[in-house]
A and B are shown apart, each in its own frame.
Chain A
Amino acid sequence: MTAADAIYLGVDIGGTFTDLVMMEEDGRISTAKALTTPGELEKGVLAAIALAAEAKGLAPDELLARVRVFGHGTTQATNALIERKGARTGLIATRGFGDTIGLQRLLGFTTGLTVDQLGWYSKRRYPDPIVPRGLRREVPERVDHAGRVLLPLDEAAARRAVEELRAEGVETFAVAFLWSFRNPSHERRVGEIIREICPEAYVSLSCDVSPIIGEYERTATTALNSYLALKVVAYLDQVETVLRRRGFRGKFHILNSAGGVMPAHEAAAKPVLLVASGPTGGVLGSLQLAKSLGHRNVITTDMGGTSFDVSIIVDDKPLVSATHEAGGYHLNTPMIDIRAVGAGGGSIARVEGGLLRVGPESAGARPGPVCYGQGGRHATVTDADVVLGIISPDNFLGGRMKLDRQAAREAIRAQIAEPLGLSVERAAAGILRVVDGHMADTLREVTIGRGYDPRDFVIFAYGGAGPAHCAGFGTELGASKIIIPATSMAHSAYGALASDIHQSSERSLMMRGGGGERDPWEGIDATLVAEVFADLEARCRAAIEKAGVAPEEAEIVRTADMRYRRQTHDLMVVFPSGPVGPEAIRAAVERFQADYEANYGKGSGFREAGIELTTFRVQATGRTPKPALSWQGAKSAPRPAKREVFEPQLERWMPVEIWQWLELPVGHHVLGPAVIEHPETTVYVGAKQAAVLDAAGNLSIDLTETRT
């Protein structure tokens, strides 16, 4: 393989489609889409590779032989969790606290519910347990908050517990004791005992998987790690083996939910990091693209069939949250903060008490909207798009799927228009206004709700339904600019391709500073902080090196979770680079105070209470070099087609220009109202808006210039 013909692939497996993005050494990118085969996911991967190879006139093996990096995003872990198809996992806990994972701090039966659903008590359910009560064992032992042993581990009891679980047919083990991140000796000893008795078993210790304060989240994270392990390990092995057999000799990277990719062996050791990697790919793809376009503040929006996933990038960094929900459980692996609401192309519209409602119920991909003709009977957002003429029934997915516009019209007429006494078109436009309004309200909540002004952000719109709706929700939000990435139809796959190697390491250690008249940084032991960071950093650098990036090329970010004492809100505060001494600690504490007021309002700080540091984290990013994006646009402007569209803002039928994305020249302006079609997506440019194609193939819609 010569440098000049190297190829980079990103592949993301979704529920319906397997998406592929290919980048060549000259920066050109292309996409391919294949159907996902449930149960045989590697089939879709190979089919997508075959499509990409065909487009280049190569055999799949020839293409694979040239691939330098294969980045892979997989929902394997997520699906195993949602479908409860993980391993039979046994959990060993401190005696007296084995119910921690069952009690879930009482959070279990409200996870994922919207405010509207909270009052419906008869529908409350705890999630199906990942470790049923019969597979939990308690062992006498106790460590205190300072790591002192109060009750030595009862090794005989531990042995009995392991034997019993083995007899129960347990395949994997999880061990989570109170305060084990302060003193891991009891957990480690139990780990040894398990390996002695069940040498083949996969074991997760909470002091390794998640050495963070908070026994419920730590236990859930550890248990989930073991629950998912077998599926994820087997799957990754299988995909890699198939690729290698077909001539692939490059690096195999897996997208995680924390902020990048990691080598497959790392993913196998910490499969819990993959649980929410699905929507992360798009955010990371947006991050790389935003960097190359020079946008430091971005709102990413991924509108698919059932959900609208939003995250924000501030000063080149995606917002990370320390805890998140997955499958009804709460995990404390750091993860890119993504807010999902039930608004998508499949969101169902209905009339209730004379009022129009849209979502959160969704027709999903199956049966899907009425216009898909797969048995869907409820009018959806996509049906409204089709009725309005925004989505062409003949040119959906490049014409591969014919849509039934008449059926969509009929559904909206009967279910929406008649009950409201509106015309079908106005009803369809109303559905758009309502769903776009909800999405704009969500965007407002994630920005303004966190102290940011949405006008300082550029919106990135992708996902199946995003490009058709961004003009609507962007206008509603009052944003100035929307970018629809060239890879918007496969943006998660692009994220898997474009992301850097990412490694994180963290540990809780409670420290206090200040209080009363003292400065809040006084009393924090700088030597100890330096030691903790040095240890975490060394782990990260070693992992980065193992992934093939020179350790000195790793970019290191050190953070500490800080809060005012007696308060429950932590902020992840970045430490300045360089050696950790009293000056660095003072600088970090000052940054905390500033961030706190920025987040929670002026005067909300509580300096006299003093400061608490709870968890120290190091993130290492290993830059993996990739070519800069480029785009070969058409030479001259083609002539657009025309079609009648009911402009949803102006509320009237009008002839609208229909352009083809792949036939646009770079720099060409498309004046709205207009539709820009692509074999895999549809973009709508609203009235008084203009879209332009940039040199990397992205469309950008300017919302500030009102034309006359």
Chain B
Amino acid sequence: MTTAGTASDPRKNGGAIDPISFEVIRHKLQAITEEQAITLKRVSGSPVVTEATDFNNGLYLADGSIVTMGPQVIFHTGTMSTVIRNIIKDFGPRGEIHEGDMFILNDPYRGAIHQPDVSIVAPVFHQGRHIAWAGSCAHQLDVGGMSFGSWAYAATDVQQEAMLLTGLKLIDGGKLREDLWQMIMSMSRLPNYLGLDFKGMIAANNVAIQRLAELFARYGVETVEGVMAAEIDASERRMRDRLRQIPDGVFRARDYIDHDGHANRLYEICLAVHKTGDEIVFDLEGSSLQAPGFINCTWSGMKGALFTGLLPILAPDIRWNEGVLRPVTIKAPEGTLCNARWPAPVSGATVCAVWIVMNVAVAALSRMVSCAPAMIREAQAVTKGQMSVLTLAGKNRDGESYGTLLLDSMAGGGGASIDQDGLDGSGDYDVPRPAIANVEANEAAGPILYLFRSFIPDTGGPGRTRGGASTGLALLPYDVEGLNAMVIGHGVEVPNSVGLYGGMPGACAYHLMRPSSAGVGALIARYHDAASVMNDSEVRDLGAKPGGFKLGRGDVFAYTFQGGGGYGDPLQRDPGRVARDVEDGYVSPGSAAEHYGVVFENGSMIPDLAATEAKRAAIRRERLAGRMPSAATPQRNDPLAADMRISDDGHFHCRCGGDLGPIDGNWKDRSATRMIAPEACGFHVHLHDELALREFSCPECATLLEVEVLRKDEEPLWTMALRR
């Protein structure tokens, strides 16, 4: 057998690692992280881990820098690295980090996103020297506190929400601390799941420790350390190269969240991305002050959300590690919704403030890359900008206790991009490989019956490329008297899935209940799609965060999720594609006329081109307050041509040639603008009392350039300005 030191001695060229050994070892580091994930998934019994992949694993340098991370929920980017840095800060000075130790932490003020995300991290030693860390993190079904699932919607401070593990040594020199284990388990409502997930995380860390030891033995520890450092440097180099391709400037986005757990108050997150040379700064100045309820997030949640937006847009082909993060600086005032100050409650962070931060990151960075022709394809309208959590608990049909977190709400719509419709059924933006369970699996596991689970027409945001359609479902307790339900979500009265360049927002979410005492057969016959529930005169709108409620026998609960935002002016969508969407049922004939301006020949699916042109011309005139456009609608010969061209004269121009002013000025000042009703964007777009919709069009050809959601009392957002 060939071993280290023969032909494969990687350092024989004067101490530098040769590129071939680098690639071989680098691949092994990635394989270790995959094996960590497989190990965790196999041991865990929780659908949150196995289906929603709400976990992550990674390898880190001794100082906590990320070397590798898994492709699971990417909110966790950098959180474990923060966890490790906090462990180092607390235990390091006392000399209490030893071989065989593992540390556990779920404190959102020390690195976790919210309390259910428990991290277990392990130092990796070689001959007594601390070389690296291995870490695992997974969302737990319940870590105690005042509400099932540790979603403490009624909390006013962090002490009420859940157990708080501030960084404890769970394994001491290879020995599990049984006393701690007992204490932690006794604080959870689902200790069995918790125990399995902990075992899975410990096993995953052990796999990593063992595999790293094998690598050290084979290639030499200095070589492996060299590869880890060089791997980070390589990603940093590629990231900086990429950033240099983008014009310098400021790119902004703003988004809102309805309901803080106590009242339907509106909060906002503001983001400005300053891009200069090969660096970017995220600045969240202007975001709302922290809320009295559980919707806030801490610095680590905000950081994870910003990187969730950044990685797929700026680094889809760069390996994700510390190097990608190095050119990025984050600024956020303390005491805000996205950088809460102790002891603000944060247990809903991942589905509330974090989600909104992700939305603004996607929107602002998409604006940014749309100014770089080589990267314009990565610019995306917002994907399903909302989350709804549904937990169900009670007795199962055999009398045993039952509790579940239903994950079907991942099945919203994807944001459109310049040359692609959004995915119809996309999963959440933070999950690279999503999955939802079969209806039959959920009905087998618990006392519920589904009435439908299907796509809903008119949920994808209209656009030249259409936002992805969303789904919805209805269910009822079955075989039992009733169940305790809990629903927390947002985006019921905020169209979070905003479009890009005139694309319209996707549908809002619905949380509905239809109380009834009818028999199952009658309910199945009656409620077979979302419309049949929405149009029922006795249906109750539960709002964004109804919290806990009883679902009795015969009571139907239905919820639907946001569709994706559209891209480009919907009046420029090919009528043939609109016709196909109508045939496929993704778009209703009403929406085809209202939003796309497409009129069909009598009772057919064939667009009446003359009538369509007339209808579109009429809508364009409305955009210009009754004035005829002075320029023709631009033709799109190049599908990748930017909607707002940066011209040699240093101005933004519409594709028709219309001048939108200097690139360092506010293009909106030159645009034709007006307030519009929510129905003008989509039949499922709803607005909070404090919100409004405003459109901005080219003053010459009336091409729609932006649809903005904003507070009634707010100035429109200056979305982008380039440095001259």
Contact = CB atoms under 8 A, between A and B. Distances in A.
Partners in one complex: yes
Contact of B31 (A145, A434, A441, A601): A441
Contact of B27 (A107, A132, A216, A438): A438
A433 B444 contact: no
B254 to A, nearest CB: 22
A102 B432 contact: no
A599 B585 contact: no
B454 A96 contact: yes
A703 interface: yes
A354 B1 contact: no
Interface in A492-538: 510, 512, 515
A689 B42 CA distance: 38
Contact of A213 (B70, B312, B440): B440
Contacts of A142: 521, 524
A445 B23 contact: no
B584 A99 contact: no
A102 B312 contact: no
B539 interface: no
A445 B34 contact: yes
Nearest to B196: A606
A96 B529 contact: yes
A566 interface: yes
A55 interface: no
Contacts of B585: 133
A604 interface: yes
Contact of A106 (B6, B19, B427, B451): B427
B193 interface: yes
Contacts of A608: 192
B28 interface: yes
A512 to B, nearest CB: 8
A564 B45 contact: yes
Nearest to A433: B20
Interface stretch (B261-269, B418-426, B492-500): B418-426
Contact of A119 (B8, B34, B315): B315
A215 B440 contact: yes
A642 interface: no
A167 interface: no
Interface string B13-38: 00000111011101110110011001
A361 B436 CA distance: 30
Contact of B528 (A95, A105, A604): A95
B192 A604 contact: no
B646 interface: no
A699 B203 CA distance: 40
Contacts of B455: 99, 102-103
Contact of B23 (A102, A357, A651): A357
A448 interface: yes
Given A102-B425, A110-B433, A355 B22 contact: yes
B28 to A, nearest CB: 6
Given A134-B583, A144-B449, A600 B454 contact: no
Interface stretch (A37-45, A121-129, A186-194, A403-411): A121-129
Interface residues of B, number: 93
A150 B449 CA distance: 11
Contacts of A98: 454
A142 B520 CA distance: 10
Contacts of A353: 234, 237-238
Interface in A86-111: 95-100, 102-110
Contacts of B192: 566, 606, 608-609
B416 to A, nearest CB: 11
B469 to A, nearest CB: 9
A708 interface: no
B435 A213 contact: no
Contacts of B529: 96
A566 B525 contact: no
Contact of B451 (A96, A133, A134, A510): A96
A335 to B, nearest CB: 19
Contacts of B426: 106, 109, 124
A478 interface: yes
Nearest to B383: A121
Contacts of B6: 649
Interface centre among A126, A566, A603 (most CB of B within 10 A): A566
Contacts of B200: 604
Contacts of A97: 439, 450, 452-454
A574 to B, nearest CB: 20
Nearest to B21: A433
B427 A120 contact: no
A106 B2 contact: no
A564 B193 CA distance: 12
B284 to A, nearest CB: 23
Nearest to A358: B23
B525 A433 contact: no
B450 A96 contact: yes
Nearest to A651: B7
A19 to B, nearest CB: 32
Interface in B545-602: 583-585
Given A96-B454, A106-B410, A445-B35, A119 B196 contact: no
B316 interface: yes
B219 to A, nearest CB: 12
B437 interface: yes
A478 B1 contact: yes
Interface in A109-151: 109-110, 113, 115-116, 118-126, 132-134, 138, 140, 142, 144-145, 150-151
Contacts of B26: 355
A305 interface: no
B435 A107 contact: yes
B436 to A, nearest CB: 5
Interface in A453-511: 475, 478, 510
Nearest to A510: B444
Interface in B314-336: 315-317, 319-320
Given A96-B451, A140-B525, A567-B45, A118 B196 contact: no
A196 to B, nearest CB: 25
A47 interface: no
Nearest to A134: B583
A650 B9 CA distance: 11
A106 B425 contact: yes
B471 interface: yes
Given A433-B8, A437-B27, A441-B27, A126 B471 contact: no
Interface centre among A102, A138, A515 (most CB of B within 10 A): A102
A503 to B, nearest CB: 26
Contacts of A510: 444
A568 interface: yes
Contacts of A179: 440, 443
A119 B320 contact: yes
Nearest to A686: B2
B534 to A, nearest CB: 15
A478 B471 CA distance: 50
Contacts of B443: 144-145, 179
A448 B35 contact: yes
Interface of A: 95-100, 102-110, 113, 115-116, 118-126, 132-134, 138, 140, 142, 144-145, 150-151, 178-179, 213-217, 351, 353-358, 420, 430, 433-434, 437-438, 441, 444-445, 448-449, 475, 478, 510, 512, 515, 564, 566-569, 599-601, 603-604, 606, 608-609, 649-651, 703-704, 706
5 smallest beta-carbon distances between A and B, as pairs: A96-B452, A567-B45, A430-B20, A120-B316, A118-B432
8 contacts: A102-B425, A106-B411, A106-B426, A133-B585, A179-B443, A445-B34, A566-B192, A609-B192
Interface of B: 1-2, 6-8, 18-20, 22-24, 26-28, 30-31, 34-35, 38-39, 42-43, 45, 47, 50-51, 70-71, 74, 192-193, 196, 199-200, 203, 234, 237-238, 311-313, 315-317, 319-320, 377-378, 380, 398, 400, 410-411, 414, 417, 420, 423-427, 429, 432-441, 443-445, 449-455, 471, 478, 520-521, 524-525, 528-529, 583-585
